[in-house]
Structure 1
């Protein structure tokens, strides 16, 4: 352990405490709930739900001068993606009702309905996690760009 590194620096390797990372990820969750619950919102509200949270992530990374914004926002995006996966799985029956997705083509009727559902839920979860990570990565790269432009 390096005694020359301040305690707060050692504790927050991702640039922010865990509760703040979770809080930033949670800012993006209302859009997921609205979508999965079948809610309809107008364009300005939808734009705010989609673009507002990553803009807040960007602002936090730049204004707090987070040492590695890409890593920090990848973590936030990963938490967001995990949250999306959980919400999608919780709302699965509400979204699909009695018409769950089915495999087609050569895989049609090859698996039991339960196995098909498991395949789709796992795929949906992986997709949700990847989407969250991509949002975090893009936002982190934008934070690096903004910081470099601000130095000039």
Structure 2
């Protein structure tokens, strides 16, 4: 039978179990991962409706679907006093970007129909299948960047608002 390891003072080292990934995520980001996914999902209806051609830019419905989700993200971060609001909302934005990419990929053919986008210039003569792969990869990357930037902007606003509404005596 082996003895447990000892501290420099000669007392047994207590094993403290590491937190589960869900607990670690909540500690790091201030929200459970399911809440982060839920916030990101608020922005998905616009992706679907836009790609299906049911809404267009410049309409009130489109504007609401564009701006309400990030406003909700900011509200949640400020009201819940999330300690790392910027980081948390960047992650929400990244998850939104993943949903955005997935939505665009799934609805690609519906969105473009018989006239999918094509490359021009020196790449115009490339095989259409290769062009399709290139365009889809860049569209997915663009979606991730877009979501992350939206999250960063929302996070910066939330962090700024938190500084403004901090109660006196609190750091």
- Shared topology, TM-score over 0.5? yes
SS at match of 2:159: helix
Q: Whose helix proportion is higher, 1 or 2?
A: 1
Query: Which SS does the other structure have where 1:65 is aligned?
Result: coil
The separation in 2 between residues aligned to 1:141 and 1:86, in whole angstroms, is 26
Q: For residues 41-80 of structure 1, what are the structure 2 equivalents within 5 Å?
A: 43-80=59-96
From 104, 123, 127, give the equivalent of 1:112. 127
TM norm structure 1: 0.90
How many residue pairs align between the two structures?
149
Q: CA RMSD in A?
A: 2.2
State the TM-score, normalized to the length of structure 2: 0.80
Alignment gaps of 5+ in structure 2: 1-14
Considering only CA atoms, is the larger Rg found in Structure 1 or Structure 2?
2
Deviations for 1:64-96, whole angstroms, at most 9, x for unmatched residues? 111101110011000000001001011111111
Q: Cα 1:11–1:95, aligned 2, differ >3 Å: closer, same or farther?
A: closer
